[in-house]
Amino acid sequence: MNDKIIDEVNLIISRQTSQKISKPKILITAGPTYEDIDDVRFIGNRSSGKMGISLATKAFLDNHQIVLITGPVAIELPSTIEGCRVKVRSALEMFTAVKTAIDWADIIIMTAAVADYRPENRIDGKIHKSDGGMSLKLIRNPDILTEIKSLTTDKIVVGFSLDSDINIEIARQKLIDKNITFIIANSTSTFNSQAIKATIIEKQGELEHFEGSKDELAEIILNKCKDYSISKYHS
């Protein structure tokens, strides 16, 4: 499966290399990941992928080259965006796709709700119920945001910090620990909604509170990335 994902990422990149576009190239992740327990059951979450898809659509319409990596999402994408999408299922598959595209990208926006844990052993077939209980041993997935920052130091990297409520302190600590460009703190109330309340946190300590649509927030994020990009190339 990893070889197939790598080939798909490289194919999308190669299709766009002939385009004479000088704007920064953008890698976006979106949606949940599913961690299979057996052939029937999985560990997942309620992320819809709407935020990442809004970003990809806005970036494409603004003539950026994009690669969109999504976990299992139910949203039907416009054909233009579908042609830039790589579909993955698990956190490990998403990590493979991100690593493949990372050298190509100038800007990386990680909106995906990646599972923190996966079953240590995936069972082939279906686990049948018994009279007793069942224990499931979970192991940590890679922290993709942390891992990619160790792979590159010259990219603009944007993260999201999801909590039950907007938690600025936790988001700020993630911003510092992961050493990313800026981070957006949001809450679980945004799941499956086109509306979002969020706070954008920058390294300088600046806070920008937002309430509106995900399309509107996408435009703000992309404009902020553009400002950082201009600053980086003129510093």
Q: What is the pLDDT of residue 235?
A: 52
Residues 29 and 69: their CA atoms lie apart, in Å, by 5
Residues 154 and 171: their CA atoms lie apart, in Å, by 22
Domain ranges of the chain: 2-115+137-233
Catalytic residue among 2, 10, 45, 141: 45
Q: What is the pLDDT of residue 132?
A: 86
pLDDT, averaged per 10 consecutive residues of the chain (235 residues), comes to: 92 83 92 97 95 97 96 93 97 97 96 97 93 92 90 89 95 94 94 92 92 97 93 58
Q: What is the pLDDT of residue 232?
A: 63
Q: What is the pLDDT of residue 7?
A: 96
Q: What is the pLDDT of residue 20?
A: 67
Per the annotation, the verdict on 141 as an active-site residue is no
Candidate CATH numbers 3.30.70.260, 1.10.1740.10, 3.40.50.10300, 3.30.470.10; the one for domain 2-115+137-233: 3.40.50.10300
Q: What is the pTM of this model?
A: 0.94
Q: What is the pLDDT of residue 190?
A: 87
Q: What is the pLDDT of residue 167?
A: 95
| CA-to-CA separations, 49 to 37, 93, 125, 171, 197, in angstroms, rounded | 22, 16, 29, 20, 16
Residues 215 and 172: their CA atoms lie apart, in Å, by 24
